[in-house]
Amino acid sequence: MDVTPSAAAPVVRLIEEFHKLPGVGPKSAQRLTYYLLRASQDEARALAQAILEVKEKITFCSICQNVTDRDPCLICANDERDSSLICVVEEPLDILALERTGSYNGLYHVLHGVISPMDGVGPEHLKVEELLERLKGGSFQEVILATNPNLEGEATAMYLDRLLGPLGVRVTRLARGLPSGADLEYADDLTLTRALEGRQEMS
């Protein structure tokens, strides 16, 4: 990477470390580094501590595979949640998005990825076995497949549906249609088709 070769070695090292982070380009890495140079000792230490703590204390929940600092995680341990519902998501961040809506009160299962044959990612690389074990042992009535509505997400949902079919549990998929605030004229055919199929009675 071409950082200013004249910068002191520790500065260059920090810039390089920041540069490795997703979404951080060379200029952002330099900005972050020079910000920290000017920040107080405490601020820098707090950041370093926070990073270390995440790595040391965070593990995966043995039930839902979400990231957590306690096992089982807060959601799995909460008995006020509806334990007959399980929502399958690709990544832990998807749980944050769903929780933000406040309209779901069931449990989750994180796959940690999505089937992507071209990248060599198959079901064996995901937490699919763990999901099957949970469903066989639990009293779930419905599995909500909440993978992303793109090709890989759909492939994963279809694959899971095939796998879960014999278990006799109800398998549903998140609705796919038009986002609020969108223009019909810009919608693609697939989305519009799905929106038509999933139309609902005005009440």
Partner 1 sequence: MTTPRIYKTEAIVLRQRKLGEAGKIVTLYTPNYGKLDAVAKGVRRPKSRLGGHLEVLTHTTVMLAQGRNLETVSQAQTVESFGGLRADLHRLSRALYAAELVDRFSPERAESYHVFQLLLATLRRLVSAKNVDTVLRHMEMQLLGLAGFQPQLARCVNCERALAAAASYFSPDAGGVLCPACGPEAGESRTLSLNALKVMRLLQSGSFAEVSRVRMALPLAQEIEMHLRAYLIHVLERDVRSAAFIDRLRREDFWQPAGVSS
Residues in touch with partner 1 (CB under 8 A): 23, 115, 117-120, 122-123, 150-152, 154-155, 158-159, 161-163, 165-166, 179, 181-183, 186-191, 193
Q: How far is CA 113 from CA 110, 148, 153, 168, in A?
A: 8, 11, 9, 25
Which tokens go with 5?
Answer: 């070769």
Q: How far is CA 177 from CA 27, 35, 127, 188, 199, in A?
A: 39, 43, 28, 10, 9
**Nearest to residue 145, comparing CAs of 110, 181, 185?**
110
Both ends of the chain: CA-CA distance in Å? 60
**Nearest to residue 129, comparing CAs of 154, 164, 173, 166?**
164
Helix and strand numbers (H, E) in the chain are 8, 6
H or E, element range at 27: helix 26-38
Nearer to partner 1, 37 or 97 (CB): 97
Q: How far is CA 139 from CA 166, 167, 174, in A?
A: 15, 11, 21
